[in-house]
Amino acid sequence: MTDLFDVSVPDSDLAAPGFTPMPTAAYRTTLQAGTQLVQNDRGWKGIRLPFAGFRNDKSNDEFERQLNAQFTYELASSPVSVEIGIKGIIGAAQAFGLTHSVTTDGKSSQKLTATSYEQLVDQFNQMAGSECEVYVSLQPRKLNGQIVYKEGTTDPVMGNEIKRISALK
């Protein structure tokens, strides 16, 4: 399976004193300005949403850092990844009131109010400063589908990834 995001961790983050990945959990956080469309040279396209300041209401753990969420919206080689990404994008948009209710196949559904990804980016950027809840996972980092190891060890480089964005409860 190909890692869609080819995530890497900057050396400065790995070497920073006191850098501790966040445990897998739900966190309250704030959307920052700077949402953008991103792509790579292998046909992947996505949307990146920046967040800063994470607080777990159950444990009261706080992490003053920035973390981006990325969702796939185009990748010819993986329609399943696109389906998952689209659900993530619509879920994120719903968290900030950027969807409206529709009925699809007799079921209540959500649809973007934006009519293009560029308009959606503008809408997210207008919501900068708004709080939401994110589910963050802690997992080994991968580059080109391969786990990245700490230099000279068999220990994987661990990092955080935002998996889900939702409205505050």
- Rounded to whole angstroms, what are the CA distances from 111 to 36, 48, 95? 20, 19, 12
Helices 79-95, 117-126: crossing angle, 10 deg rounding: 30
In this structure, are residues 21 and 159 in contact, taking their beta carbons and an 8 Å threshold? yes
Beta bridge partners of 160: 138
CA–CA separation, 89 and 96 (whole Å): 11
Which residues in the chain show pLDDT less than 70?
1-19
Residue 160's CB is within 10 A of a number of other CB atoms, namely 22
pTM of the model: 0.82
In this structure, are residues 72 and 4 in contact, taking their beta carbons and an 8 Å threshold? yes
- Per-residue pLDDT tens over the stretch 124-162: 999 999 999 999 999 998 877 788 898 888 888 888 999
Confidence (pLDDT) at 17 = 52
Confidence (pLDDT) at 141 = 85
Confidence (pLDDT) at 23 = 94
Confidence (pLDDT) at 4 = 44
Q: Is 75 exposed, middle or buried (0-12, 13-18, 19+ CB in 10 A)?
A: buried
Confidence (pLDDT) at 169 = 82
